[in-house]
Amino acid sequence: MGVTATQLSLDDLKSKALDIRKEIIRMTTEAGSGHPSSSLSATEVVTALYFGGFLRVDPDNPTDPARDRFIMSKGHAVPVLYAAMAERGYFPVEDTMTLRKLGSKFEGHPNMKRMPGIEASTGSLGQGLSIGLGVALGCKMDNLDSQVYVMIGDGEMGEGQVWEAMAAAQKYGTGNLTAIIDQNGYQQTGATKDVLDQKPFASKVEAFGWHVQTIPGNDMEAVVKALETAKTVTDRPTCIVSETQKGFGILPLLEEAGDTNFHGKPLPPEMAEKALAMLS
Amino acid sequence: MAIGEISGLKMGQATRDAFGEALRDLGDQFPEVVTVDGDVGNSTRTEWFAQKFPNRSFNVGIAESNMVSVAGGLAAQGKTAVVASFACFLLNNAFDQIRMSVAFPNLNVKLVGSHAGISIGEDGPSQMGIEDVALASCLPGVTVCVPTDAVSTQAATKAMLEHNGPVYLRLGRPKAPVVYPDGCDFQFGKSIQLTDGDDITIIANGLMVGMALDAAKSLKDSGIAARVIDMHTVKPIDEEAIIKAATETGRIVVAEEHLAAGGLGSAVSMVTARTRPVPMSFVNVGDQYAESGDPDGLLEKYGLTAGNIVEAARSIL
């Protein structure tokens, strides 16, 4: 079959994002732990990457050298990645229901040793962009035209290593590297503006010599357009500041529960049922 | 007294120089090798490789965390990534990156720590890697090697590039005495016995091997036959040689240029404690940081001389 990108229509992409949201909620509720709200903010971007004509991968041969790479640096948001991979055909969707259970390869954070198709083991924040840079440099050395995408959390930007990677990527002109900052405005203990406000990201990243776009990251059309633009920039690394909402899709439920951050909490079964109905 | 003087060793290259030459010379034979530097390539000698293979070398600046994770990414892409810095900056500064970007995913990254030990001298304790072996050894799947002279370092460098998986190679700054003038049979996990003796065993690595040979010569003069073992690989440790030494000599001294905790002494003790407990004594930096000064003076002051090994041996004879 070889590496190919799946390209759905905008309507089908939106519908795919709904399916992925539902799977995120199902698997985390079944696990009784996990980070659904951190996954929901990132859903449009991850869905667009896997189904909007971007990631050229072969689920039957997940290590094909010609593939594109997606690295989830904010590793706790791995449910959205598992759901997208399942939808893309890496494994049956029902397998993801073993999330976080003993013996399952669906670990709480991505583990490349246990799951082909996972491009980096993450979960200690701040390392994904550096790893992505290494992969991007390696691909260039091997004359592969592979694109490397790395998703970083806005709270994660507090890790100085991310800025180290930005400086180095600029030096080596890695046009095959795209960082997506999932700016959902929250981190573990509260709003990022209260914990460590690092905004504005766009001007800072631009100052590091990157091509930068800022988009409404839960708007599928905007996401697809930004990813298309990123692909056309080949002389330097690109960054998409994706302004999102944590828990997007089920916000009224989170408001009702009195916690719009909902960090690291699975939806209790009753709430999950309501969420699934809301997303149908 | 210079190291190796008693046992008649000649002074040779520093292990970092031998590594730098070997890496450069092996570059053609191992086309997948790339280096990632944190702007100390002229100290670690990876600069010599970079001069010959500019397209296979990356200097990412003074940013050890990024350096290690970039190496992980290159390894994920099929490269043999050699990442070098001072031992202390590599292991201490980028420990989590070594754990998450290298050891946990078991990627083919070669971690090279130069300027290990207190024998770096005048630059002082901030630059001395003396926790590095402990830190590297505790990580699952990481091979830890401390070669003693130029020949064994060249062999270790080749073995490291041939090995599939993470390796930590520990190098020193000063010139090292020639322990292997005629080559050596080097394999990770297989120690090298340098002298025969059934009264006591001295297990050492790095610069302390020359000291151990000097100590053995001194002990021999007073009728004590010491077996000297170059335990260049701390992990996986050569259990067989340790058990044999414990059984045949009944006493073991372990000498290393490292803190007391977590280094070669700990690794050897784990084997003897489990299999054949024997009286042991230890020569190391102890539980303290050193100071600035000339290398010989530092080794003397912090108890890392042949005399200290003799003393440690006598304490259990």
Task: Tell me which DSSP letter residue B71 carries.
Answer: H
B70 vs A contacts (CB less than 8 Å):
130-131, 133-134, 137, 165, 168
Contact by Cβ (8 Å): A102, A75: no
Average pLDDT over residues B155-160: 98
A57/A34 Cα distance (integer angstroms)? 27
Kindly report whether the peptide bond that precedes residue B177 is cis, defined as omega within 30 degrees of 0: no
A135/A178 Cα distance (integer angstroms)? 12
pTM of structure: 0.96
Nearest of B304, B247, B246, B310 to residue B280 by alpha carbon: B246
Half-sphere exposure of A123 (CA within 13 A, CB side): 16
Find the CB nearest B76 among A123, A134, A171: A134
Task: Tell me which DSSP letter residue B147 carries.
Answer: -
List the single best residue of A69, A118, A137, A163 to mutate versus B (max B Cβ within 10 A).
A137
Instruction: State CA A267 to chain mean position distance.
Output: 20
> Tell me, what's the pLDDT at A70?
98
B192/B213 Cα distance (integer angstroms)? 13
Average pLDDT over residues B228-248: 98
A209/B255 Cα distance (integer angstroms)? 51
Task: Tell me which DSSP letter residue B259 carries.
Answer: B
* Residue listed under structure tokens 């899709």: A249
Q: What percent of chain B has pLDDT over 90?
A: 99
> Tell me, what's the pLDDT at B71?
98
Distance linking the first and last C-alpha atoms of chain B: 25
Other CB atoms within 10 Å distance of the CB of residue A75 = 28
A12-41 pLDDT, tens digit per residue, is: 999 999 999 999 999 999 999 999 999 999
Q: B52: distance to nearest CA of chain A, Å?
A: 16
A232-270 pLDDT, tens digit per residue, is: 999 999 999 999 999 999 999 999 999 999 999 999 999
Look at residue B196 and give its three-state secondary structure: coil
Four-point Cα dihedral B50, B53, B58, B64, nearest 10? -40
Cβ-defined contact of B99 to A119 (cutoff 8 Å): no
Look at residue B232 and give its three-state secondary structure: coil
Cβ-defined contact of B78 to A65 (cutoff 8 Å): yes
Cβ-defined contact of B73 to A142 (cutoff 8 Å): no
Task: Tell me which DSSP letter residue B27 carries.
Answer: T
Contact by Cβ (8 Å): A139, A148: yes
A47-78 pLDDT, tens digit per residue, is: 999 999 999 999 999 999 999 999 999 999 99
Average pLDDT over residues A92-100: 98
pLDDT-derived band at B243 (thresholds 50, 70, 90) equals: very high
Q: Which residue of A has its CA nearest to B78?
A: A138
**Two structure tokens written together for A178:** 């795209």
Q: Which residue of A has its CA nearest to B109?
A: A134
Cβ-defined contact of A135 to B73 (cutoff 8 Å): yes
Look at residue B29 and give its three-state secondary structure: coil
A147-195 pLDDT, tens digit per residue, is: 999 999 999 999 999 999 999 999 999 999 999 999 999 999 999 999 9
Q: What percent of chain B has pLDDT over 70?
A: 100
Q: B17: distance to nearest CA of chain A, Å?
A: 27
Angle at CA B284, nearest 5°, toward B282 and B285?
145
Q: A153: distance to nearest CA of chain B, Å?
A: 17
Written as one letter, the residue type at B138 is: C
> What distances in angstroms separate CA B165 from CA A172, A278, B272, one per listed residue?
26, 48, 27
Mean pLDDT of chain B: 97
> What distances in angstroms separate CA B38 from CA A4, A141, B69, B126, B294, one per listed residue?
37, 20, 12, 17, 26
Residue B199, φ and ψ in degrees, nearest 5: -90, -35
pLDDT over threshold 80, residue B298 = yes
Find the CB nearest B63 among A112, A127, A164: A164
B64 is catalytic: yes
pLDDT over threshold 70, residue A1 = no
> Tell me, what's the pLDDT at B280?
98
B259-297 pLDDT, tens digit per residue, is: 999 999 999 999 999 999 999 999 999 999 999 999 999
Q: Tell me the DSSP string of chain A.
A: --SB--B--HHHHHHHHHHHHHHHHHHHHHHT-S-HHHHHHTHHHHHHHHHBT---B-TTSTT-TT--EEEESSGGGHHHHHHHHHHHTSS-GGGGGGTT-TT-S--SS--TTT-TT--S---STT-HHHHHHHHHHHHHHTT----EEEEEETGGGGSHHHHHHHHHHHHTT-TTEEEEEEE-SEETTEEHHHHH----HHHHHHHTT-EEEEEETT-HHHHHHHHHHHHH--SS-EEEEEE--TTTT-HHHHHHTT-SS-TT-PPPHHHHHHHHHHT-
> Tell me, what's the pLDDT at B1?
74
Q: Which residues of A touch B (CB under 8 A)?
A: 65, 111-113, 119-124, 126-127, 130-139, 141-142, 160-161, 164-165, 167-168, 171-172
Q: B21: distance to nearest CA of chain A, Å?
A: 24
Q: B146: distance to nearest CA of chain A, Å?
A: 27
A228/A240 Cα distance (integer angstroms)? 11
Q: Which residue of B has its CA nearest to A115?
A: B105
* Residue listed under structure tokens 């990481």: B142
Helix axes A160-171, B64-76, angle to 10 degrees: 60
Cβ-defined contact of B65 to A123 (cutoff 8 Å): no
Cβ-defined contact of B78 to A142 (cutoff 8 Å): yes
> Tell me, what's the pLDDT at B50?
98
B238/B188 Cα distance (integer angstroms)? 9
In sequence order, which residues have a C-beta less than 8 Å from that of residue B165 and are 6 or more positions away? B106, B108, B141, B142, B143
Residue A108, φ and ψ in degrees, nearest 5: -65, -25
Average pLDDT over residues B21-50: 97
Other CB atoms within 10 Å distance of the CB of residue A204 = 17
pLDDT over threshold 80, residue B207 = yes
List the single best residue of A162, A164, A166 to mutate versus B (max B Cβ within 10 A).
A164
Cβ-defined contact of A127 to B61 (cutoff 8 Å): no
Cβ-defined contact of B105 to A141 (cutoff 8 Å): no
Contact by Cβ (8 Å): B280, B312: no
Q: From the candidates B64, B131, B256, B257, which is the catalytic residue?
A: B64
B263/B284 Cα distance (integer angstroms)? 9
